[in-house]
Copies of this chain bind each other. A is one copy, B any other.
Amino acid sequence: MSKSRIEQKEQTRRAIIDAAISQLSAEQSFAGLSLREVTRQAGIAPTSFYRHFKDMEELGLTLVDECGLALRQIMRKARKQFEEGGSVIITSVKIFMEITETSPNIFRLLFHERSGTMRALRTAVDREIQYFIVELTDYVQSIGYDKVSAYAQAEAMVAIVFNAGAELLAAKASQRKEIEKRAIMQLRYIATGAHTLHIAKSKI
């Protein structure tokens, strides 16, 4: 019944992480968390925090990693669904919407810290988003676009999707469908716009 030491340690480590995530909200960004409050909710003494993390920043980086993991799982899911013959645009958006419902706090972290105050977190978030963009760029390039155009498209699309995601976090359930529709429409604009300009260019 008793746990081994490493099991025990991992358990309270998770308790800290979970406490931190649960305290994130629209009203509290990571920078607003306090070590004491996190440890209080995790059920340990404030000073015990240091047995697991050097400081709050290190915890923050761990959280961002966690988000990155979630994001990459989404991406894999999207790619799978796409290879089975779905539209890239629609599946991507739908899956993105899904997570904002499922675990809004993890998602919020990404939003807050992208323009947040801690440099390490900002760059970490940027890296995750960049991962997204690069992945999409590769795909677009494989369809026949040049690198520059592909990147522009990918970046624009990610910006649109994230923008929609931010709207979703604040929206009521009744507005959700509408936001989703609009995001899809916007992505279509970009895709067909790039297509049209591509055709026009190759005609010359």
Contact = CB atoms under 8 A, between A and B. Distances in A.
Interface residues of A, number: 39
A151 B183 CA distance: 11
Copies in the complex: 2
B192 A196 contact: yes
A146 to B, nearest CB: 12
Interface SS, A side? helix
Contacts of A152: 182, 185-186, 189
A166 interface: yes
B192 A117 contact: no
A119 B156 contact: no
Interface stretch (A28-36, A77-85, A95-103): A28-36
A46 interface: no
A155 interface: yes
